[in-house]
């Protein structure tokens, strides 16, 4: 997030009294802007042997949806790998919905990747990311305050289980539909899902009856970039390392989430997707594992 400071008494001569300084988080090393016919790459600081940071944006002439992967590359491993199957599913029939997207990918030596490049979604500042700024500089927004109707973000978290958390600022029915469509994908039975909404939880048990133990990661802050960009609120998917490292689970999340988004945008989504689950309970009342 941008930080601004003023210096009213910078020196005795008054030369810097009117100066305002702005500091931005982690300027990118490379930005890629892609439309249907044109790709533009801007280099800022060249990558070196230690690592790199880059961002990529794809802009389509359709402002219904944007996919956000803010911690790709080696930051939250394998989330970048989910972009291709997600886009393939949503852009194919029966949905045929073009996918705007933005991803930031970083890597560094030793254990420094997350420390250097993990910028939280509530602190993501558009001026720090030229490709993101370009994605948002469209002539037509979904409404006067939001460039897209819906957004979805793919994230990762640390857990010793095969777990998934569905949150964000969107409506509860949309979150339940995402959970349903992901669980319906072949081979997804061992994955446990936790749905967050307004400090309440719905737990969808895995086939071995384990539940998600991790609390938090609800993604519902109004400062979260997915919620700032979407008129109907964003969908945030958090995935444990065991989900992201397994091809079946990783692709199941991408394909199932894309199908849910397709139904939501095409008007074919059920209105009672949560009816198959238990009534939401307050997070504080959910027992620890």
Closest CA to 170 of 225, 221, 125, 227: 227
pTM: predicted TM-score of the whole model, two decimal places: 0.85
**Domain extents for the chain?**
3-285
Per-residue pLDDT at 130: 84
Per-residue pLDDT at 14: 60
User: What is the chain's alpha carbon radius of gyration, rounded to the nearest angstrom?
Assistant: 20
Per-residue pLDDT at 215: 86
Per-residue pLDDT at 45: 55
What contacts 110, CB < 8 A, 6 or more positions away? none
Structure tokens at 207: 């086939």
Per-residue pLDDT at 97: 97
* Architecture in CATH of 3-285: 3-Layer(aba) Sandwich (3.40)
Per-residue pLDDT at 277: 94
94 preceded by cis ω (within 30°)? yes
How confident is the prediction along the chain (289 residues), in pLDDT tens digits per residue?
Answer: 444 555 555 555 666 566 665 554 444 567 777 776 666 666 555 566 667 788 888 999 899 999 999 988 777 889 999 999 999 999 999 999 999 999 988 877 767 676 676 677 776 777 778 888 888 887 788 998 999 999 999 999 988 899 999 999 999 999 999 999 999 999 999 999 999 999 999 999 999 999 999 888 898 888 888 999 999 999 999 999 999 999 999 999 999 999 999 999 999 999 999 999 989 999 888 887 8
Return d(Cα 72, Cα 211) in angstroms, integer.
26
What contacts 173, CB < 8 A, 6 or more positions away? 269, 270, 271, 272, 273, 274
Per-residue pLDDT at 127: 74
Query: In the chain, what's the furthest Cα-to-Cα distance?
Result: 72
Q: Residue 66: helix, strand or coil by DSSP?
A: strand
Q: Bridge-partner residues for 53, per DSSP?
A: 106
Of all residues in the chain, what percent are helix, strand and coil, respectively (each to 5)? 25, 25, 45
Per-residue pLDDT at 84: 97
Q: Residue 101: helix, strand or coil by DSSP?
A: strand
Per-residue pLDDT at 1: 41
Residue recorded with tokens 């289980």: 161
End-to-end CA separation in angstroms for the chain: 35
CB contact at 8 A, 96 and 87: no
Per-residue pLDDT at 37: 64
Query: Which segments of the chain are extended strands (E)?
Result: 3-6, 20-23, 30-34, 39-43, 52-58, 65-73, 100-107, 150-157, 163-167, 192-197, 200-204, 234-240, 281-282
Closest CA to 101 of 118, 121, 87: 87
């Amino acid at each position: 997030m941008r930080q601004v400071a003023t210096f009213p008494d910078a020196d005795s001569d008054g030369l810097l009294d009117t100066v305002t300084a702005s500091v931005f988080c982690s300027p990118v090393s490379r930005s890629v802007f892609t439309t249907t016919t044109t790709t533009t790459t801007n280099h800022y600081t060249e990558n070196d042997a230690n690592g790199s940071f880059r961002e990529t944006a794809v802009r389509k002439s359709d402002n219904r949806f944007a996919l956000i992967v803010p911690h790709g590359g080696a930051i939250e491993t394998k989330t970048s790998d989910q972009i291709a199957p997600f886009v393939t599913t949503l852009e194919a029939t029966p949905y045929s919905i073009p996918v705007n997207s933005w991803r930031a990918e970083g890597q560094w030596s030793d254990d420094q990747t997350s420390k250097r490049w993990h910028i939280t979604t509530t602190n993501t500042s558009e001026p720090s990311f030229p490709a993101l700024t370009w994605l948002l500089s469209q002539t037509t927004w979904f409404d006067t305050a939001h460039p897209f109707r819906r957004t979805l973000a793919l994230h990762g978290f640390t857990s010793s289980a095969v777990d998934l958390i569905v949150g964000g600022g969107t409506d509860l029915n949309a979150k339940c539909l995402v959970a349903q469509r992901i669980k319906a994908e072949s081979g997804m039975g061992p994955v446990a899902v936790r749905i967050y909404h307004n400090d309440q939880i719905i737990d969808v048990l895995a086939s071995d009856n384990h539940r998600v133990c991790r609390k938090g990661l609800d993604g519902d802050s109004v400062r979260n970039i997915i919620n700032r960009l979407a008129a109907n609120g964003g969908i945030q998917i958090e995935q444990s390392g065991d989900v992201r490292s397994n091809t079946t689970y990783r692709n199941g999340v991408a394909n199932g989430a894309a199908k849910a988004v397709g139904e939501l945008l095409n008007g074919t989504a059920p209105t009672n997707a949560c009816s198959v689950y238990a009534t939401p309970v307050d997070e504080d009342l959910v027992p620890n594992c």
